[in-house]
A and B are shown apart, each in its own frame.
Chain A
Amino acid sequence: MLRYAVRRIAGLIPTLLVIITASFFIVRLAPGGPFDQEQTLSREVRANLDRAYGLDQPMVVQYGRYLRALAHGDFGPSFKQRDFSVTELIAQGLPVSGALGLTAIVLALTLGIALGVAAAVWRQTSVDVGITSFVVLGIALPGFVVGPLLALIFGVYLQWLPVAGWEGGAPRYFVLPALTLALPVIAYVTRLTRSSLLDVFRANFIRTARARGVGGWRILWGHALRPALLPVVSYIGPATAFVVTGSLVVETVFGLPGTGRYLVQGAINRDYTLVMGMVIVYGTLVLLLNLIADLMYGWLDPRVRYE
């Protein structure tokens, strides 16, 4: 198990290197530089700017410098927000995005599993039909539709919650973004839980338990739920990737000062270092969480053996 974990972590390094190298060279080989829009720059100023950001060096030297700085946790200066380094911007935004993403995941797992169990236990009743239609809608509706609609209903018409903003993380400002982010994941977890629980209910060991006279709820809690949750656990990895991309939209819709919004702003302003930094941070995050989900899977399912 430990050896497997170490090997998997070591396997992340080449993947990360590919991500870093690819994003670095795509950005550098593209037509146009970061200062092209400021047309009034004289040639001398332009040369000074290039030198200040190290852009006058050969590509390989720039790449080496970038890697060395990265190893020290330095993503370089932001090209567009002059007084900030990318590291500072990420450090500012990460608590907001982290809190939002974590809330969404927790919400999705608890609600999704609960709804999935309910749909499986009362299958082919109106409860099941209701939950299943919610699932279809939840999966089909993208966050950039759900977010504005929720804001319109609860913010503009009912006026229960603020339409947008952050205000230092007051809970009122947190509800709609977290819900928007969690909704598709809730739907997906519900669907997974429902179908795998139905499968488990059909298994022989459940029939045996029933024959021994074990009651319905004890079968659910004592026997069926744990094996039924395995697909949900392996979905945690993709779910975090989904939440990470979803946060780009949610932070834009609700005006939250998180890293997702920085990434979008950076992409619109062509702030190359910022975009690269964000992509590397998010890529690492997604890879790590996938790994954790895989390890958890083995811990939950005694049949999985790591060689």
Chain B
Amino acid sequence: MDGSIHACGMNERAAQPIAMSDFRRSGSLWSAAAARIRRNRVAMIAGCVTGLIAVLAVLGPLVSPYAYDTLDWQHLAVGPFGSGSHWLGTDRLGRDLFVRTLNGIRISLVISLVSTAISLAIGVTWGAVAGYVGGRTDELMMRFVDVLYSLPYLFIVIILTTVFERGSLPVLFCAIGAVGWLTTARIVRGQTLALSRREFVEAARATGLSTPAILLRHIIPNLIGPIIVYATLTIPQMILFESFLSFLGLGVQEPLASLGSLINDGAQEMQSAPWMLLVPAGFLVVLLLCFNLMGDALSDALDPRER
């Protein structure tokens, strides 16, 4: 493939293959990595904050007296701490902003996790098959990835959300997941190429094991390390995608809300009710920052050559 064409630009660090054999061979490298993360105070704080937000997002709406779509006609567009019962204020329909934001975080997290899983499943299969089978199949499959890579992901997602039923969560999962697998496929293919020349794979082949069995039993289990690293870097990107779509009105639809659509609502009302913008934007920023810091720490910890 001549020339490298990266479409999204923000993840070339992740695209560097990590020498798998370096940290799967012995358990000590894993524990060394864990120790390195534990010593990284920024990463630990980021992890705790993320965990706290996730717990809040799951439990908060259950504990609160309001549901995300409960209308409170006594308190329309009240500011934070303006009335005792709504901690972070309400929107113009009197819906509790804290509950809506937490619910939005939950939706954003679920969508990002599911679409990360989908993109990993496609990417790992695609990359492992291309790398192991090789030859013309490999060339064709990776050529396809290159073509998709040269387009900004979002246009494909926009086409998909234009065409299929808007706002339905399964469509969102698939649309976002279907475009996120390209980098995974590239990483996995590279690792598979290296692995398939190793002796144990050759031995498996010599004993007459079928190709799918070799892939499932020998190749993919050895890829778990880089896959985990890449997944932590994918999740915030997926959160961003989802919020981006919802912000534009192409994602989650009313009365449901995700962080993106809440920020959009807030931006409409920011002259009279700035908290409607600041609350969801603050949560999104903190969440993204924490995920990025954790991802950086994880890839640093697993790849000691950096720094």
Chain A interface residues toward B at CB < 8 A? 7-8, 11, 14-15, 18-19, 23, 26-27, 30-31, 136-137, 139-142, 144-145, 147-149, 151-152, 156, 163, 188, 234-235, 237-239, 241-242, 244-245, 248-249, 252-253, 263-264, 266-268, 270, 272, 275-276, 279, 282-283, 286-287, 290-291, 294
Contact = CB atoms under 8 A, between A and B. Distances in A.
Contact of B277 (A7, A149, A279): A149
B243 interface: yes
B254 interface: no
B147 A139 contact: no
A137 B288 CA distance: 10
Contacts, number: 139
A27 B162 CA distance: 8
Contacts of A287: 5, 150
Contacts of B212: none
Given A237-B6, A249-B247, A142 B163 contact: no
A279 to B, nearest CB: 5
Contacts of A148: 263, 266-267, 270, 277, 281
Nearest to B289: A140
Contacts of B154: 245, 248
A257 B163 CA distance: 24
Contacts of B281: 145, 148-149
Interface stretch (B7-15, B28-36, B132-140, B180-188): B7-15
Contacts of B248: 248-249, 252, 264, 267-268
Contacts of B7: 238, 241, 286
Among A234, A235, A248, A263, the most chain B Cβ lie within 10 Å of the Cβ of A248
Interface in B261-302: 263-264, 266-267, 270-271, 274, 277, 281, 284-285, 288-289, 292
Nearest to B7: A241
Given A148-B267, A275-B159, A141 B285 contact: yes
Contacts of A268: 248-250
B158 A267 contact: yes
A287 B152 CA distance: 10
Given A145-B285, A238-B9, A267-B162, A245 B152 contact: yes
Contact of A152 (B2, B163, B243, B277): B277
Nearest to B250: A267
Contacts of A264: 248-250
Given A253-B267, A267-B250, A282 B9 contact: no
B150 A15 contact: yes
A156 B270 CA distance: 8
28 contacts: A19-B151, A26-B163, A136-B292, A140-B292, A142-B284, A145-B263, A148-B266, A148-B267, A152-B274, A188-B10, A234-B4, A238-B6, A241-B152, A242-B152, A249-B244, A252-B247, A253-B267, A263-B158, A264-B249, A268-B248, A270-B163, A275-B162, A276-B159, A282-B152, A286-B7, A290-B5, A294-B3, A294-B5
Contact of A142 (B5, B266, B288): B288
Given A156-B274, A235-B9, A252-B248, A140 B288 contact: yes
A287 B160 CA distance: 21
A183 to B, nearest CB: 13
A148 B271 CA distance: 11
Main secondary structure of the interface of B (DSSP, over half): helix
A295 to B, nearest CB: 9
Contacts of A249: 244, 247-248
Nearest to A143: B244
A124 B205 CA distance: 53
B270 to A, nearest CB: 5
Given A144-B247, A283-B151, A242 B260 contact: no
A252 B248 CA distance: 8
Nearest to A30: B163
Contact of A242 (B10, B150, B250, B270): B10
Interface string B174-206: 000000000000000000000000000000000
Interface in B233-252: 240, 243-244, 247-250
Given A148-B270, A248-B154, A272-B163, 5 more contacts: A148-B281, A156-B274, A245-B155, A264-B249, A291-B3
Contacts of B159: 23, 26-27, 275-276, 279
